[in-house]
Amino acid sequence: MNPLIIEGKEKTPFFKLMPSGELSFGGTSIPEDAATFYFPIIDWFSDYYRTPGEETQIQISFKYLNSASSSMIHKIMHMLGRLQETGKTTISCQWYYEFEDTDMLDFAKSMQDLAPEIKFTFQAKSD
């Protein structure tokens, strides 16, 4: 399994997905076609599900997600929640959000509700 590294751009987020279990992603996600953009990412997570690292550490720091991107992140977190249930890996997620962005914090907490087996921590940041 190979790493997947996608550089963030003006309308698309960065992803750094390492087979060892170090996963980070974030930025702005308003791609023209979210399904096409996220397909290789979902595919990578499907492969990771079969052979995860012993520990999976996720760092997420989105500034903005449109509704189509939110749906894709929902799919990823659902998949990770199912992975945690298998006992193949221990997953923790550090979710960073802008200090005054309560909508992003609410979204992050909804992901925690979706995958309660994952240990989430939330941290406000200010630029």
Please determine, for residue 127, whether its predicted confidence score (pLDDT) is greater than 80. Answer: no
Mean per-residue pLDDT of the chain: 96
Please determine, for residue 8, whether its predicted confidence score (pLDDT) is greater than 70. Answer: yes
Phi first, then psi: give them for residue 35, nearest 5 degrees. Answer: -60, -45
Q: Return the pLDDT at 126.
A: 75
Neighbours of 10 (CB within 10 A): 7
Q: What is the DSSP letter of 100?
A: T
Round to whole Å and give the CA distance between 69 and 32. 10
Tens of pLDDT, residues 40-77: 999 999 999 999 999 999 999 999 999 999 999 999 99
Entry field: residues in the chain? 127
